[in-house]
Amino acid sequence: MSTKSSVRQSAVAALTAASAASHGQPIGSAKPRSLRELFGLNVFSDDVMRARLPEGTYKALQKTLKKGAPLDPTVADVVATAMKEWAMEKGATHYTHWFQPLTGLTAEKHDSFLVPDEGGGALTEFSGKELVRGEPDASSFPSGGIRATFEARGYTAWDPTSPAFVLEAPGGTTLCIPTAFCSWTGEALDKKTPLLRSMEALSKQALRILKLFGSSAQKVFTTAGPEQEYFLIDKNFYYARPDLLNAGRTLFGAKPPKGQELEDHYFGAIPDRVLAFMLESETELYKLGVPVKTRHNEVAPAQYELAPIFENANVATDHNMLVMETMKRVADRHGLQLLLHEKPFAGVNGSGKHVNWSMADDQGNNLLKPGDTPHENAQFLIFLAAVISAVAKHGDLLRVAIAHAGNDHRLGANEAPPAIISIFLGDMLQDIVEQIEAGGAKSTKAGGTMTVGVTALPTLPRDAGDRNRTSPFAFTGNKFEFRAVGSSQSIAGPNVVLNTIVCEAVDEIATVLETAVAAGKDLNTEIQALLPKLIKASKHVIFNGDGYSDEWHAEAAKRGLPNKRNTIDSLPDLITPKSIALFGKYGVLSERELHSRYEILLESYKKTINIESQLTAQIARRQILPAALRYQAELATSIGALKSAGVMIPPSQAELLAELVSTITDLQSKTAVLIKASDEHSDGDSLAHATYSRDIVIPAMNAVRVIGDKLEGLVPDDLWPLPTYQEMLFIK
Ligand code: ADP
Ligand code: MG
């Protein structure tokens, strides 16, 4: 037997031999505890602070948190000491400023609490200064031209609005302090800074509306609940697939005879081994205060979902990063590999992240919840109209927020929302919106009579929206669900865009209403006049039908809705005058920051395609071609033997050999084309480079794959070097 197939065969053997029980130890203390004991165990939470900080310090910190008052350095010192003591009781020896650079991952640099004393012993120290600001060597993080390496110093700044936590690893524990990451000149180099800025901006505008309605709220924040989809496969398969290992997705692989046709996986029973992984992940996440709520099988084989309860969008963003990282680490302990890529397996459903989004005031009121009284409903309709207007005007920016190479495989395929951004409202709300547009109406589809018109609005149904999974942006009763976000993405970007575009719409509405009220006009009359105008101007973005259908593509084009089919088509929308004006006006991202992000996104696209193309060529030449040649030799030998024995060679065997020979020739020629395409560079700027990757390199890569997958159907199983789709997806 060929030694070359040994990697794959030993992978299968190792898997069969292993049982879930024999896989690693739990990350932290293994003692089973009750949920109540576990939840937030490793979080420097409000309760912990209240218990451990002197009252004056606690109050001063609260003032910073609630009102954004500057933090007194002496307060920071007291907080730092309390944090250190607390973390050390949990076994921490080190601390780190935990931040989210533009790589889309999290970053950390650990420093120990240790300070040697004069007698050769050790003291521990952690000052307010160290808590509040850090200076990681930032030269290797992407900055998109903002920071030349000679001025490499970036700094991290404590974000007290997301709680510090202790991260356990088998060897020890570390105090993690959520921070923002900026350049020396104050420009954002991370995902958190613009998120915080956008939340602040939206808060300011939304409060103007609330004030008109007589609210005493002091702050509005956005809420987010990201539903995380992922694949889980055996680690041995993962190691035997250079493409998964290096690109996160398979670059070869014929479709298995059984895919997801039977639809028997969705909500099916969770296999024990996977369940063990889920339970342990959840335990670790509970300790970190992540409110994990739901787990289930997804549509594709080996695909699952985890959903938390929604939180303040800043905390939810940090928590989603922790969800992804924790699941990865726990999977490892169970001999499993977590795949967060949007499309790990061609022909099988990809993974997304539904970002549920709303706004809430500091009194706990959800601003997108239809109310019980006409008064509340008027306010609800104002915020709803603001979101609709915002998406109608800036759908292009929502599209940019989800644009990256991985998501290109998903959007527009008939499994995920199309790349056309539209809003789904549901029949009930649609009806109401239409009646408002018509100037107030009298009845609803749900039956019963009512008078629409702000003075006497009906009680709107709580969960009017039926489930339309084909819409990228759907109203689901009391929140919007942004479904086009990719599974591997940080939710910060989509939140920044949503917050900022809605901020603008709310600002404009507030100005109209305030002006009218200041002129002595009646608020309700003004609202009645304004709502139909807003709806009329933006109703083209509302679509309640099947987003997968061809008719919708035609209809959307007629309505003038942009259809940016891929990342490269979409990214330039980030730096249009419209975008620069919007983000600049609300202080969320400066023109320079937008350009830097644009460059980083293009660069990352180009690098992704480059890695994939090199891997494709490597696998074709070093794994598939040799296997095919070996089979060719076997076949030729076998036919030769017939010939020497004087047996007539059956035409089918001669044809098989001929087909193999010509497919091998195809593989070689297509691989040569790919290698040439990858080596060549187009002239021009980064957009030209990335466009070249899209138009020349990707098709060349796909052509090699087609031949590789054809060979998978020809070459005998025992010679085939790559774990197959069937094995990866169905052996658990
Ligand atoms: P599904 O969409 O799968 O039916 P649910 O309706 O249960 O799921 O909710 C999905 C997510 O929406 C959950 O994470 C939930 O916490 C979140 N969610 C609920 N209300 C809000 C809100 N006001 N703001 C943000 N997210 C919310
Ligand atoms: Mg959902």
Q: Is the pLDDT of residue 296 over 70?
A: yes
320 vs 731: CA distance, rounded Å: 28
Closest atom of ligand 1 to CA, residue 227:
14
Q: Is the pLDDT of residue 728 over 90?
A: yes
What is the separation of C-alpha 121 from the centre of its chain, rounded to a whole number of angstroms?
46
91 vs 175: CA distance, rounded Å: 9
CA of 481 to the centre of ligand 1 (A): 8
Q: Do residues 537 and 437 lie in contact, with contact meaning Cβ atoms separated by under 8 Å?
A: no
Residue 1's pLDDT is 39
Q: Is the pLDDT of residue 145 over 80?
A: no
525 vs 454: CA distance, rounded Å: 8
Q: Is the pLDDT of residue 90 over 80?
A: yes
**Nearest ligand, CA 471:** 2
Question: Considering the chain, what is the average pLDDT of its residues?
Answer: 89
Give the burial class of 136: count Cβ atoms within 10 A of its Cβ; 0-12 exposed, 13-18 middle, 19 or more buried: buried
∠ CA 372-378-380, rounded to 5°: 75
Closest atom of ligand 1 to CA, residue 225:
14
Q: Is the pLDDT of residue 611 over 80?
A: yes
Q: Which residues, judged by CB distance below 6 Å to any ligand atom, belong to the binding site of ligand 1?
A: 223-225, 227, 307-310, 356-358, 366, 478-479
Residue 299's pLDDT is 78
Closest atom of ligand 1 to CA, residue 224:
25
Q: Mean of the pLDDT values across residues 683-697?
A: 92
Model pTM score: 0.92
Share above pLDDT 70 across residues of the chain, in percent, rounded to a whole number: 89
CA of 389 to the centre of ligand 1 (A): 23
CA of 297 to the centre of ligand 1 (A): 18
Q: Mean of the pLDDT values across residues 98-113?
A: 89
Residue 451's pLDDT is 38
CA of 194 to the centre of ligand 2 (A): 25
**Nearest ligand, CA 320:** 1
Residue 431's pLDDT is 83
CA of 225 to the centre of ligand 1 (A): 6
CA of 310 to the centre of ligand 1 (A): 6
**What pLDDT digit, counting tens, does each position of 541-586 carry?**
999 888 888 899 999 999 999 999 999 999 999 999 999 999 999 9
Distances, alpha carbon 720 to alpha carbons 15, 233, 475, 667, in Å: 18, 19, 48, 15
Bridge partners of 228, per DSSP, are: 306, 353
**Nearest ligand, CA 221:** 1
Q: Mean of the pLDDT values across residues 18-43?
A: 68
Beta-carbon neighbour count of residue 495 at 10 Å? 28
**What pLDDT digit, counting tens, does each position of 432-457 carry?**
888 888 875 444 444 332 333 444 44
Q: How does DSSP assign 107-141, residue by residue?
A: B--EEESEEE-TTS-EEE---HHHHHEE----TTS
Contacts (Cβ under 8 Å, ≥6 apart) of 526: 512, 513, 516, 517
Identity of residue 321: M
594 vs 180: CA distance, rounded Å: 17
CA of 402 to the centre of ligand 2 (A): 17
Strands 473-475 and 423-424: parallel
Q: How does DSSP assign 333-359, residue by residue?
A: HTTEEEE--S-SSTTS---BEEEEEEE
Q: Mean of the pLDDT values across residues 384-413?
A: 95
Q: Is the pLDDT of residue 200 over 50?
A: yes
Q: Mean of the pLDDT values across residues 95-103?
A: 92
Residue 731's pLDDT is 83
Q: How does DSSP assign 658-707, residue by residue?
A: HHHHHHHHHHHHHHHHHHHHHH---SSSHHHHHHHIIIIIHHHHHHHHHH
Q: Do residues 226 and 353 lie in contact, with contact meaning Cβ atoms separated by under 8 Å?
A: yes
218 vs 69: CA distance, rounded Å: 14
CA of 311 to the centre of ligand 1 (A): 10
Q: How does DSSP assign 479-532, residue by residue?
A: SEEE---BTTS-SHHHHHHHHHHHHHHHHHHHHHHHHHHHTT--HHHHHHHHHH
Closest atom of ligand 1 to CA, residue 358:
24
Residue 303's pLDDT is 93
Backbone dihedral region of 51: left (phi > 0), alpha (psi from -120 to 50 degrees) or beta?
A: alpha
Which of 202, 294, 356 for mutating ligand 1's site (highest number of atoms within 8 Å of CB)?
Answer: 356
Residue 265's pLDDT is 64
Q: Do residues 228 and 359 lie in contact, with contact meaning Cβ atoms separated by under 8 Å?
A: no
Closest atom of ligand 1 to CA, residue 478:
23
620 vs 251: CA distance, rounded Å: 10
Among 104-108, 488-492, 583-587, 626-630, name the one with the lowest average pLDDT: 104-108
**Nearest ligand, CA 483:** 2
Which of 222, 223, 292, 310 for mutating ligand 1's site (highest number of atoms within 8 Å of CB)?
Answer: 310
Closest atom of ligand 1 to CA, residue 476:
6
Q: How confident is the model at residue 33 (pLDDT cuts 50, 70, 90)?
A: confident
**Nearest ligand, CA 365:** 1
Nearest residue by C-alpha to atom 11 in ligand 1: 225
**Nearest ligand, CA 298:** 1
Q: Is the pLDDT of residue 95 over 90?
A: yes
Structure-token match 């990228």, residue found: 472
Nearest residue by C-alpha to atom 19 in ligand 1: 310
CA of 466 to the centre of ligand 1 (A): 14
Nearest residue by C-alpha to atom 14 in ligand 1: 225
Name, of 30-44, 153-167, 316-330, 361-375, the range with top average pLDDT. 316-330
Residue 446's pLDDT is 43
Of all residues in the chain, what percent are helix, strand and coil, respectively (each to 5)?
A: 50, 15, 35
Bridge partners of 480, per DSSP, are: 357, 475
Beta-carbon neighbour count of residue 516 at 10 Å? 18
Q: How does DSSP assign 423-461, residue by residue?
A: EE--HHHHHHHHHHHTT--SB-TTSSB---SGGGPPPPP
Residue 169's pLDDT is 85
Give phi and psi for 338, each to the nearest 5: -85, 130
Closest atom of ligand 1 to CA, residue 360:
23
Q: How confident is the model at residue 620 (pLDDT cuts 50, 70, 90)?
A: very high
CA of 227 to the centre of ligand 2 (A): 7
**How many C-alpha atoms does 695 have within 13 Å on its Cβ side?**
10
CA of 332 to the centre of ligand 1 (A): 29
Q: How confident is the model at residue 300 (pLDDT cuts 50, 70, 90)?
A: confident
Distances, alpha carbon 401 to alpha carbons 52, 128, 421, in Å: 41, 36, 11
426 vs 544: CA distance, rounded Å: 6
Q: Mean of the pLDDT values across residues 339-344?
A: 97
Q: How confident is the model at residue 103 (pLDDT cuts 50, 70, 90)?
A: confident
Cα four-point dihedral sign 211, 213, 214, 219: negative
Nearest residue by C-alpha to atom 1 in ligand 1: 227
Q: Is the pLDDT of residue 63 over 60?
A: yes
Which of 369, 479, 483, 498 for mutating ligand 1's site (highest number of atoms within 8 Å of CB)?
Answer: 479
Q: Is the pLDDT of residue 81 over 90?
A: yes
108 vs 434: CA distance, rounded Å: 51
Q: Do residues 293 and 308 lie in contact, with contact meaning Cβ atoms separated by under 8 Å?
A: yes
**What pLDDT digit, counting tens, does each position of 453-480 carry?**
444 444 555 554 456 778 999 998 899 9
Give the burial class of 461: count Cβ atoms within 10 A of its Cβ; 0-12 exposed, 13-18 middle, 19 or more buried: middle
Q: Mean of the pLDDT values across residues 54-77?
A: 86
For the chain, the residue count is 732
Among 271-275, 332-336, 436-440, 517-521, name the one with the lowest average pLDDT: 436-440
Closest atom of ligand 1 to CA, residue 309:
16
**What pLDDT digit, counting tens, does each position of 482-521 carry?**
999 999 999 999 999 999 999 999 999 999 999 999 999 9
609 vs 612: CA distance, rounded Å: 5
Q: Is the pLDDT of residue 646 over 70?
A: yes
**Nearest ligand, CA 352:** 2
Among 168-172, 321-325, 470-474, name the one with the lowest average pLDDT: 168-172
Q: Which of 400, 48, 65, 437 is nearest to 221 (CA)?
A: 65
CA of 479 to the centre of ligand 2 (A): 10
Q: Which of 131, 128, 126 is nearest to 73 (CA)?
A: 128
Q: Mean of the pLDDT values across residues 278-295?
A: 94
327 vs 81: CA distance, rounded Å: 31
Q: Mean of the pLDDT values across residues 306-322?
A: 97
Q: Do residues 428 and 521 lie in contact, with contact meaning Cβ atoms separated by under 8 Å?
A: no
**What pLDDT digit, counting tens, does each position of 692-725 carry?**
999 999 999 999 999 999 999 999 999 999 999 9
